[in-house]
Amino acid sequence: MSHSAAQENGQGSSEDLFQDAYGFRLNICTAQQLEARQRCDQAAEQVAPKWDKVKGRVLGSPDVVKDAKLKKYCRLGIPVQHRPWAWPALSGADARKRKQMAGYFDAMVHRGEVDSEVAHQIELDLPRTYPSNRWVASEEGMDALRRVLVAYSVHQPSVGYCQGMNYLAAILLLAMKQDEEDAFWLLASLIDPGGILYQGMYAQNLVGAQVEMRSFEELVAAKLPKLAAHLRELNCDMTLIATDWFLCLFATVLPSETVARVWDALLYEGPKVLYRIALALLKGCEAQLLAISNTGDLIGEIKDATKGAYDRDALMKVAFDKVGSMPMARIRGFREENQEAVDSEVAKREARAQRSSSLSTASRASGTPPASPGPGHSPGFGTPRASSNGQGGGGSGFRTWASRFKLHKGSRGKDA
Amino acid sequence: MLASDTGALQQAKLVLLGDMGAGKSSLVLRFVKGQFFDYQESTIGAAFLTKTMPEQNVKFEIWDTAGQERYHSLAPMYYRGAAAAVIVFDITNTESLGKAKNWVKELQRQGNPNMVMALAGNKADLADARAVTTEEAQTFADDNNLFFWETSAKTNQNVLELFTDIAQKLPRTSAQPQPSNAGITLSEPPQQRPQKSGCC
Ligand SMILES: Nc1nc2c(ncn2[C@@H]2O[C@H](COP(=O)(O)OP(=O)(O)O)[C@@H](O)[C@H]2O)c(=O)[nH]1
Ligand SMILES: [Mg+2]
């Protein structure tokens, strides 16, 4: 029962002036950025009535409504106040939720079968997720984030936890006004097999992300040939530039209001949007990049460009109107080709690693929790065994963590 | 062609590797900006920073990598052509030393053969929670030809010493900014004379 109502979304204090809609510090450096942000806010106000109108139609339908008009609206941006219903409805998260038994999220939170290494890694990252965002960094925020990430790792043990998912979950929580269940289902609708993102983005070796980055590299060669040649000359691989773009869906590089704007389209249309935004970002600073002859400086220039991307309308405009057509067949072709290449490289590397380190298998196996008593070292992923609480199931090396880390919603829960 | 020892800054690519949470980003931040935060954003992919040490005539181009196992396959991109590597472990966490050892092995096998390698036993301020003895780490370092420093990004213990040590051990070359492919050779038969030390 809540001491912290005032903290909701970080709003309600004199700090407001320096914070954006999601409680992040504004890092505005130029008058242009300030003006652009205000203009974008006003534009969002203007489309709000449209969203009042479509709400009934969208929520009334059991399946995701797909039409050109909604697509256009999503590209124009969903107003902050509409995202809590619009994202779950338009992404398929609601549909996924309905297919499961009621209370599925809570069940995942409380099942208590968290792989100990996964739990340990989540704990490490909780305080390192947007430490400058007041709510995310608060006890309450970290508890919510923990529940969403732990639930996801139990829901999808083959994915478990991958660094990067923490930022996705945090943005989702903020956009959903801290509704954990919605955040969870959105995460699932992005990452689950058959979900919005390309398969295997967060899998071992990040195979999916690597495929996406290579495909993107080919797109850059086609769409921005001068830049592509320049990058090649500098030996600047796309992974140096775009790893966090693809793994965090821009959540660590763009201002949060711009991130949410990108996700408005991403959640409705799919990952082609990521290519478009990435192309638009590079295109926006292409001239500067061509003049830089050092990889480090080039990366720095791109960082600055993304950090200052407060003009979300302009970014979307470039992404959707100025980078030309991008037929899905072509992208599929890139992906197939690169999937094969990445798979075979990974297989080779693994064979090599296996050969050279059959001795040192022990090292990654002991993600033991800090205070773990007794001999029950976690066997890690490779060696399944029954869990100590006798529940077995799902994966391997499960241990009851719910009691150690507060997975239970406190009295602050919204349904309290 | 030999002009550079005295003149232009030597650029040196340096990569940090090591277990998640060992303190790689914190060490870099301490070194580059003199700051420490109890909580710093976790690194996705890698972060890039530079730091010039004028006294050493070196400009470090630092790649701070992500530590989680599944990011491992991206690492070669960052250590490829690196002149130096700092392998970080957390002295309160035995497992992190195991991971450090694996990194050393991988670099020995696949890194630039002239790479200057240092082992950093970080979080030395947490003496009460120590799980790895100095001797154990030192022995491993000696056996593998690594410099070893016990550091603390928090208290600034030995951070400058670590990087200074690396800077001084870098092979001096005349070849300058090297966009590099695999196995770049920074020094052929290097004229090992400590040319820039004459003064003091
Ligand atoms: N006490 C102590 N904590 C440290 C030290 N270095 C890092 N940390 C903490 O350890 C955690 C992980 O550090 P970070 O630099 O993000 O690790 P990385 O994953 O290797 O980059 C953070 O909470 C840091 O504040 C240190 O020297 N002493
Ligand atoms: Mg880090």
Tens-digit pLDDT profile for residues B69-91:
999 989 999 999 999 999 999 99
User: How much distance in Å is there from the Cα of B161 to the middle of ligand 2?
Assistant: 21
Question: Which of B44, B71, B123, B128 to mutate to test binding with chain A, by most A CBs within 10 Å of its CB?
Answer: B44
Q: Under DSSP, is residue B47 helix (H, G, I), strand (E, B) or coil?
A: strand
pLDDT confidence of A63, banded at 50, 70, 90? confident
- Would B85 be classed as within a structural domain? yes
CATH number reported for the structural domain that contains residue A324 in this entry: 1.10.472.80
Angstrom distance (rounded) from CA A380 to CA B69:
12
Percent of residues, chain B, with pLDDT higher than 90: 76
ipTM: 0.83
Rg, chain A, Cα only: 22
Average pLDDT over residues A307-329: 95
Tally of CB atoms within 10 A around A170: 27
Beta-strand relationship, A398-399 and B84-90 = unpaired
Cβ pair A124:B41 closer than 8 A: no
Angstrom distance (rounded) from CA B51 to CA B45:
20
Q: Which pLDDT value is given to residue A357?
A: 61
CB B135 near ligand 1, within 6 Å:
no
Q: pLDDT tens-digit profile of A296-309? A: 899 999 999 999 99
Whose CA is closest to A223, among A327, A314, A335, A301?
A: A327
Q: Which pLDDT value is given to residue A255?
A: 97
CATH number reported for the structural domain that contains residue B23 in this entry: 3.40.50.300
What does the DSSP assignment read for A44-96?
HHHHHHHHHHHHHHHHH-SS----HHHHHHHHH---GGGHHHHHHHHHSHHHH
A226-255 residues touching B, CB cutoff 8 A: 233-235, 237, 239-240, 243-244, 247-248, 252
How far does A243 lie from chain B, in Å, by closest CA?
5
Whose CA is closest to A313, among A14, A36, A25, A8?
A: A36
pLDDT confidence of A125, banded at 50, 70, 90? very high
Check whether B40 has a pLDDT greater than 70.
Answer: yes
Q: Which ligand is nearest to the CA of B152?
A: 1
- Would B181 be classed as within a structural domain? no
Q: Which pLDDT value is given to residue B173?
A: 65
pLDDT confidence of A16, banded at 50, 70, 90? low
Q: Which pLDDT value is given to residue A353?
A: 75
Domain holding B130, by residue range, is: 10-174
DSSP3 helix / strand / coil % (chain A, rounded to 5): 65, 0, 35
pLDDT confidence of A112, banded at 50, 70, 90? confident
- Would B3 be classed as within a structural domain? no
- Would B187 be classed as within a structural domain? no
- Would B179 be classed as within a structural domain? no
CB distance B66 to B21 below 8 Å: no
- Would A306 be classed as within a structural domain? yes
pLDDT confidence of B155, banded at 50, 70, 90? very high
CA distances from A173 to A66, A87, A180 (A): 25, 12, 6
More confident residue, A194 or A360: A194
Cα A48 from chain centroid (whole Å): 25
Residues of A within 8 A of B179 (CB-CB) are 233-235, 295
- Would A305 be classed as within a structural domain? yes
Q: pLDDT tens-digit profile of A220-262? A: 999 999 999 999 999 999 999 999 999 999 999 999 999 999 9
Q: Under DSSP, is residue A25 helix (H, G, I), strand (E, B) or coil?
A: strand
What does the DSSP assignment read for B115-133?
-EEEEEEE-TT-GGG--S-
CA distances from A24 to A316, A346, B197 (A): 21, 38, 49
The token duo for B196 is 């820039």
- The CB-side HSE value for B77 (13 A sphere, CA atoms) comes to 22
Check whether B199 has a pLDDT greater than 60.
Answer: no
Residue closest via CA to ligand 1's atom 8 equals B23
Q: pLDDT tens-digit profile of A259-272? A: 999 999 999 999 99
Check whether A369 has a pLDDT greater than 80.
Answer: no
- Would A148 be classed as within a structural domain? no
Check whether B187 has a pLDDT greater than 50.
Answer: no
pLDDT confidence of B171, banded at 50, 70, 90? confident
- Would A88 be classed as within a structural domain? no
Average pLDDT over residues A132-141: 97
- The pLDDT mean for chain A works out to 85
> In sequence order, which residues have a C-beta less than 8 Å from that of residue B82 and are 6 or more positions away?
B13, B14, B15, B63, B111, B112, B115
Average pLDDT over residues A172-181: 98
Q: Which pLDDT value is given to residue A15?
A: 55
Domain holding A326, by residue range, is: 207-330
Domain count, chain B: 1
- Give the closest of B38, B73, B105 to A206, CB-based: B73
User: How much distance in Å is there from the Cα of B17 to the middle of ligand 2?
Assistant: 9
Q: Which pLDDT value is given to residue B136?
A: 97
Average pLDDT over residues B109-129: 95
Name beta bridge partners: B90: B122
- Would B128 be classed as within a structural domain? yes
User: What pTM value is reported for the model?
Assistant: 0.85
Domain count, chain A: 1
- Would A233 be classed as within a structural domain? yes
pLDDT confidence of B197, banded at 50, 70, 90? very low
- Would B99 be classed as within a structural domain? yes
Cβ pair B180:A235 closer than 8 A: yes
- Would A227 be classed as within a structural domain? yes
Q: Under DSSP, is residue B10 helix (H, G, I), strand (E, B) or coil?
A: strand
Q: Under DSSP, is residue A186 helix (H, G, I), strand (E, B) or coil?
A: helix
